Amino acid sequence: MQLNAPLDMHLHLRDGEMLTRIAKYSAETFSGAIIMPNLVPPVTTKEEVIAYRQRIIQAIGGKTFIPYMTLFFHPSFNKTFLNALRHDITAIKLYPAGITTNSEEGVNGFDIEELRPVLEAMSELEIPLCVHGETNGFVMDREAEFVHIYEKLATAFPKLKIIMEHITTKESVEALDRFDNLYATITLHHLLITLDDVAGGMLQPHLFCKPIAKRPEDREALLNVALRAHPKVMFGSDSAPHPKHAKESCGCAAGIFTAPIALQLLTELFEQHDSLHTLQAFISDNARHIYNIKATPKKIILEKKPFQIPPDYEGVVPMFANKTITYSIKRVIHL
């Protein structure tokens, strides 16, 4: 099985020691990734974007990989500011305040008029808006409740490309076809697990993430669009590393680490559903079209050979640690 220029359209690389330890695992098998800006402090200026990109390049150690940079959304941004860095970023990421890891400086409320100046500027400059779409309601309903906000944004700014990040519900899937300017990323873990896998028996901290895994019918809706590579969906791992002690503790950190095993597990999943012919579109082609980007040429050759997922990657426990899966990476060809 060969995948050409795979892309991860939602990736957390963190910073400092964690960046140095884990960035190489994405850079090894992916041609590029949309890099999340929720550092501490968040990435909000041109200088911070350029500096973070340089730290990523240094961390990956010469591997062929493009970090597509993003800016942490703030209502104070104006057209002059955005125009000055439009060639340094691929998108801007909007977080509701306090809804997920390092999002305390996000948006409080979604007053369309308050957001209008920056969102109109983004529309004119053709800068996509990526959104973590959850309210602060009951945890299982947060994403479904947010759909009406997506509808408001899509209607008020019809020329703005809006990416619904890491969707988990059938309501989000249904919204895709109601608005021309709505798109979505889907994670590996939300295609594989439901809340029952997280908390149906003994609590599984390494399967805990936000948005939390949902119901079987939600997973089926995600599988339906992913497996047929609906042209408005693309792969975004939301791979989010935390040190083992932060996951296996009281107050478990939200995030699932999948970067080193994503392509193997996606290949296994798509084969199980007789859909290997659509994997290339889901893993790369759709993203290139949606974002209008060129990916660095790279070929990933996978073989049907058992692979035991390691117990950890430099202190970060991956999803399905110690499990044996069907596919392995045979080689990576840099073109």
Written as one letter, the residue type at 29 is: T
- Helix (DSSP H) and strand (DSSP E) numbers for the chain: 13, 14
* Pairwise CA distance, residues 17 & 190, whole Å: 28
Rounded to 10 degrees, what is the CA torsion of 210, 75, 152, 281? -50
Burial of residue 141, with CB atoms counted within 10 A of its CB: 0-12 exposed, 13-18 middle, 19 or more buried: middle
Give the chain's radius of gyration (CA, Å). Answer: 19
Beta pairing, strands 91-94 & 129-131: parallel
* Run of H or E residues at 271: helix 262-272
Which 8-state DSSP code applies to residue 282? I
Asked if 79 and 125 count as a contact pair (C-beta separation under 8 A), the reply is: yes
207 within 8 A of 319, measured Cβ to Cβ: yes
| Residue 10 CB neighbour total at 10 angstroms | 25
User: Hey, what CATH topology would domain 2-297 get?
Assistant: TIM Barrel (3.20.20)
- Token pair for residue 214? 């949902």
Measured CA to CA in angstroms, residue 183 lies from 69, 124, 215, 291 at distances of 19, 18, 22, 10
Among residues 71, 96, 93, the alpha carbon closest in space to that of 82 is found at 71
Please report where in the chains the tokens 């990734």 appear, as a residue: 33
Question: Which sequence spans correspond to the domains of the chain?
Answer: 2-297
Q: How many CB atoms lie within 10 A of CB 40?
A: 11
The set of catalytic residues is 238
Tens-digit pLDDT string for the chain (335 aa)? 999 999 999 999 999 999 999 999 999 999 999 999 999 999 999 999 999 999 999 999 989 999 999 999 999 999 999 999 999 999 999 998 877 877 787 778 888 899 999 999 999 999 999 999 999 999 999 999 999 999 999 999 999 999 999 999 999 999 999 999 999 999 999 999 999 999 999 999 999 999 999 999 999 999 999 999 999 999 999 999 999 999 999 999 999 999 999 999 999 999 999 999 999 999 999 999 999 999 999 999 999 999 999 999 999 999 999 999 999 999 999 87
C-alpha 189/C-alpha 42 separation (Å) is 26
Judged by DSSP in three states, 288 sits in helix
- Can you give the pTM of this predicted structure? 0.96
